[in-house]
Structures are given as C-alpha cells and as structure tokens.
Amino acid sequence: MKILVTGGAGYIGSTVCSALEDKGHTPIIIDSLITGKKNYISNRIFYKGDISEKEILTEIFRDHPEIHTTIHCAGLIIVPESSKDPYKYYNENLIKSIQLFNNLLTLGQTRLIFSSTASLYKSSDGTMVTEKSELLPQSPYARTKMSIEMVLKDFSNSYNFKAISLRYFNPIGADPKMRTGPHTQNPSHVVGKLIESINSESNIFTITGTNWNTRDGTGIRDYVHVWDLAQAHVSAIEYFDNIVTQDTPYNVINLGTGEGTTVLELVTAFEEINGTKIIKVSSPPRQGDVAGGYTNRDKALNLLKWTPRMSIEQGLADALKWFNKNNVQSS
C-alpha cells in the first residue's frame, strides 16, 4: 500500500517509513525539512513542502491516487520552546494540521493516523494510565496535540473521515539497521542528556527531581523503542478498518511498554551498557516536571495486536550506536 507520511524526514516519521518498507508498503513523504534531515529521505518518494499547502497535496494525490492512509508525524516538538513562543506552536501544529485535514477531505482522503503524546495525561503520580485517564497537558506543545485530537474527533464525527490518535510514551533508540535515528543537537530528553554527559569532560548527569513518590524518588517514564513504535504504525495501517468504524470513527491508543522505569534505573542500565560510571548530581525538579507514569497496554494489544519486543537496554544500545556512527546526540 502507498502511505502518505507527513514529517517523514524526522526521527519518528523516517523510522515509520523504514518499518513500512520492510513490510512491503511504499511511503510517500511530505516534509518541509524545517527540522528533518534530507539524508533520511534519500531513495524515498519525497515532496518538499509544508503540510498546509493545498497545491503540493493536490500534486501528491494526482501522482499517487492510490494512497491508502496518511500518517501525520509533522510538527514542532520542543516543549520549552513552546512555552517561550506558544503562537509558533499553535500555528505550526494546530492551524496547519487543521488545514491539512481539510485539504485531505477535499481531496477525498478519509483515513488518518496521528502522532500524539502521553504528555496529555494528568498522570503525575508515577502510576499507570489508560486511554480513559484524565487529561491535563502541562505545556503549550502538549495543548496543541490535545487540540489536534479534538479536531480529529469532531471531523470524524461530522465528515466522512476516520482517525486514530497514537499517544506515544517516551520513544528512545534508533532504527536497529541504523538507517535513521535521533538528530537533535541540543537534547532535552534524558537519553540525549546521558550521551551528552559521557561525552563531556566532567561525566556529570543531573537528575532533576529526586523526591517524587516513586520507588527511588526519581521520575518514572515508559521508554519505548522507536522501532517498536514504528511497528505499531504498520499495525494501525493494517487493522485500520477494524479500529475505526462507522460507530467509532475516532479512536485513541496508548503506545508504551507497560513498564515504568525510574531515571535512576535508566542511568544504571546506561552505565552497564556503556561500561562507564556517571557522576550523578541531584537538583530540584524543573518547572512543570511531574513524577510521570506508564501505560496500560491492553488496548494496543487488542486493537493493534501489538506487543513491544525490544528492551530498554536495546533502546539505549541503539541510541549509543547511532550517536557513535553519526556523532549526534539522542533526543
């Protein structure tokens, strides 16, 4: 099947493209390259453009009328930047997504899978969440994602349109075949910070928040290997018409391992994989930090028949391998 992937030159979109290709599907990419990498789309069908531009979408569907589904990964993703400049995030993520959905509709496209995020959940106490758990996004970034979900729900209820939102927990690692991986130069995520610390002279890693109500006081997250995440998208394509139906034209699925890992546990696993000790320094939580949580994965199992296969150790090892190959930090 041909699948349109917005943001296919980015970290997750490019990995999804590899997973689609490995299963015999053909990704068609639209990406403005605002953050994405040109070398992630080499040998792939690629249209350089903005998701909001109707002309380029029209051209894509004229060239590939058999496109089955759109996977919408394009967007801006830096949480602190979204607090500094919320207009930019609402414009780039929300407004442009609405334009994309409307243009897809007018071009007769009725199927969409959306890259959403677990940062919509209130989930602040280190416990498990389900798709029904309370939402309370903490940043403008997360609020743009929640707003897009609301638009998708309304479009699906009112138009001939069906959508699935996949709420990612904490993606780590890189394509195991090292085709693509994280590309952020100044990582704000924990794995990127760990790689940064072992490449600095001091070897210091700062743990922000050590007094949470978790088993060792550090924050808890559900780290999911990006390759497992990509496989879930292939499943969402293949089971699309069972997941969203006339009665349920919009659906939400959490994508995580179902296991919480504390920051301290992650650092220990990283030390073992890398064979070096890291100097750990504690500091107070950053503004907006939460204890975190992990997902129940019954819905992903039932609807996608998807079980994550790769361990945290594999995710850390692949992130390191990718860094050593490309000399970029993991995000």
Ligand X SMILES: NC(=O)c1ccc[n+]([C@@H]2O[C@H](COP(=O)([O-])OP(=O)(O)OC[C@H]3O[C@@H](n4cnc5c(N)ncnc54)[C@H](O)[C@@H]3O)[C@@H](O)[C@H]2O)c1
The verdict on 228 binding ligand X (CB under 6 A) reads: no
Enter the tokens of residue 300.
């992903």
Distance of CA 142 to the CA centre of its chain: 12
Q: Measuring CA to CA, how many Å separate 96 from each of 35, 60, 135, 144, 176?
A: 16, 17, 23, 11, 32
d(CA 193, CA 205): 7
Q: Which parts of 198-217 interact with ligand X (CB under 6 A)?
A: none
The answer to whether residue 308 forms part of the interface with ligand X (CB under 6 A) is: no
- Catalytic pick among 40, 89, 121, 141: 141
Q: Site map for ligand X, 86-105, x if CB under 6 A? A: ------x---x---------
Contacting residue, 2, 22, 33, 102, with ligand X by CB under 6 A: 33
Name the minimum Å distance from CB 94 to ligand X: 11
- Asked if 30 contacts 56 with a C-beta cutoff of 8 angstroms, the reply is yes
Distance from C-alpha of 218 to C-alpha of 213, rounded to nearest angstrom: 8
By CB under 6 A, is residue 140 in contact with ligand X?
Answer: no
Which residues does residue 254 pair with via DSSP β-bridges, in sequence order?
167
Among 171, 176, 249, 293, binds ligand X (CB under 6 A): 171
Which of 103, 117, 254, 295 contacts ligand X by CB under 6 A?
117
Per rule CB under 6 A, count of chain residues that contact ligand X: 26
Q: Is 35 in the site for ligand X (CB under 6 A)?
A: yes
Q: Is 236 among the residues that bind ligand X (CB under 6 A)?
A: no
Q: Which two tokens stand for residue 203?
A: 């070897």
Least distance between ligand X and beta carbon 171 (Å) = 5
Question: Does 36 interact with ligand X (rule: CB under 6 A)?
Answer: yes
224 phi/psi in degrees, rounded to 5: -120, 135
Angle at 161 between CA 158 and CA 162, to 5 degrees: 115
Q: Is 239 a catalytic residue?
A: no
Q: Which residues pair with 143 in a beta bridge?
A: none
The reply on whether position 74 binds ligand X by CB under 6 A is: yes
Q: Least distance from C-beta 289 to ligand X, angstroms?
A: 16
Please report how close the Cβ of residue 92 comes to ligand X at its closest, in angstroms: 6
CB of 223 to ligand X, least distance (A): 10
Helix ranges (H only) for the chain are 11-22, 54-63, 79-84, 86-89, 96-106, 140-158, 190-198, 226-238, 240-243, 263-274, 298-304, 312-326
Q: Which residues are catalytic?
A: 141
Which positions lie near ligand X, rule CB under 6 A?
7, 9-13, 31-36, 50-51, 73-77, 92, 96, 115, 117, 168, 171, 331
